[in-house]
């Protein structure tokens, strides 16, 4: 059945055989054997173009579902055999990794020594792509996240902060609106970060196109540039407090306010292993403990946290 579904997906025997690493004649014989077993034609061979028969369309649709269920059950059984061990691949932007995850990762591995965490650092936009293609098991991104097809687990809430040199004309202010930044030189995180797009959006909503003089994937480099009076930057508050410089003034952004909310995302069709569920629960408990909330308290407010029940 898997051979037939692959042919149907490609609408071509040659392409399907290349992907499956089998010769075309073997693939063709397998499909014909399936047709003989079912007693019906699955492919319309009277047409010059590739076309499934009504029975072929039905089998392709139901077959995909059955194969997916079999794969998930195999993963479930393997998960039960392995227990609390294995490798967990997590995609985290460097800014979020530095701000929240050193203690989470350290304490999680201390509690679960048989689990190996493979942390992939990249901007949130890149992390989303890697969650999509299965390169990571789960990802950490910032809100808003308006893409369907994901479990989204809210993790922490903070805000973004404007950094200016102490001699900057805005340095004496406690709050600054985006409209006041129209003539500034922007030093911002590059477009692999969701924050990059949000800064551009807020500037455009304020009526101007930001003058970007430098983009970088390194937040500490941008902060250092501000300390040298090379421009302004906007970074998440939890990361700015880690940069100590008497030359920098931190200012709250208003009109609009600029929140920085982070969440864990998992593709809905992906099997949620016990490793993934354990890490999500542990991360939530660790972050929420400061608010005197438990994972179960938060789960009531956010049903998507009970991710295994969706399957």
pLDDT tens column, 100-111:
888 899 999 888
Q: Fold for 158-259, please state it.
A: D-Maltodextrin-Binding Protein; domain 2 (3.40.190)
Query: How high is the pLDDT of residue 310?
Result: 33
Confidence at residue 292, expressed as pLDDT on a 0 to 100 scale:
38
Q: Enumerate the CATH 1.10.10.10 domain ranges in the chain, comma separated.
A: 2-81
Residue 85 in this model has a pLDDT that exceeds 70: no
Q: How far apart are CA 150 and CA 147, in angstroms?
A: 7
Task: Check pLDDT > 70 for residue 277.
Answer: yes
pLDDT band of residue 234 (cuts 50, 70, 90) is very high
pLDDT for residue 288: 66
Digit-coded pLDDT (tens) for 185-205: 999 999 888 889 999 999 999
CB 133 within 8 A of CB 139: no
* The two three-digit tokens of residue 96, written as one number: 């979020």
pLDDT at 180: 95
Answer yes or no: is pLDDT of 290 > 90. Answer: no
Instruction: Return residue ranges of the chain for CATH 3.40.190.290.
Output: 158-259
Any alpha helices (H) in 176-218, and if so which ranges?
A: 194-205
- If 0-12 CB within 10 Å is exposed, 13-18 middle and 19+ buried, where does residue 300 land? exposed
CATH number of 2-81: 1.10.10.10
Q: What is the pTM of this model?
A: 0.60
What are the residue ranges of CATH 3.40.190.10 in the chain?
A: 84-156+261-310
Q: What homologous superfamily is domain 84-156+261-310 in, according to CATH?
A: Periplasmic binding protein-like II (3.40.190.10)
């Amino acid at each position: 059945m898997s051979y037939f579904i692959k042919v149907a997906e490609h609408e071509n025997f040659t392409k399907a055989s290349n992907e499956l690493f089998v010769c075309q004649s073997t693939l063709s014989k397998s499909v014909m054997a399936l047709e003989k077993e079912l007693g019906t034609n699955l492919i319309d061979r009277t047409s010059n173009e590739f076309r499934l028969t009504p029975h072929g369309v039905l089998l392709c649709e139901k077959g995909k579902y059955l194969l997916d269920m079999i794969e998930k059950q195999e993963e479930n059984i393997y998960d039960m055999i392995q227990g609390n061990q294995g490798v967990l691949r997590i995609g985290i932007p460097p800014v979020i990794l530095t701000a929240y995850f050193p203690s989470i990762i350290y304490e999680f591995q201390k509690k679960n020594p048989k689990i190996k965490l493979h942390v992939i650092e990249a901007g949130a936009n890149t992390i989303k792509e890697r969650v999509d293609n299965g390169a990571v098991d789960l990802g950490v991104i910032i809100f808003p996240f308006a893409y369907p097809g994901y479990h989204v687990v809210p993790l922490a809430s903070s805000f973004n902060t404007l950094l200016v040199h102490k001699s900057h004309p805005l340095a004496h202010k406690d709050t600054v609106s985006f409209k006041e930044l129209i003539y500034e030189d922007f030093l911002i995180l590059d477009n692999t970060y969701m924050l990059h797009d949000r800064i551009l959006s807020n500037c455009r909503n304020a009526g101007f196109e930001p003058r970007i003089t430098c983009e970088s994937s390194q937040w500490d480099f941008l902060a250092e540039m501000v300390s040298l009076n090379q421009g302004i930057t906007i970074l998440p508050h939890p990361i700015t407090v880690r940069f100590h410089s008497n030359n920098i003034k931190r200012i709250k952004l208003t009109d609009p306010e600029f929140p920085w909310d982070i969440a864990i995302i998992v593709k809905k069709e992906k099997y949620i292993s016990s490793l993934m569920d354990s890490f999500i629960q542990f991360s939530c408990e660790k972050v929420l403990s400061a608010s005197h909330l438990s994972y179960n308290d938060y789960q009531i407010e956010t049903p998507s946290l009970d991710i295994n029940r969706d399957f």
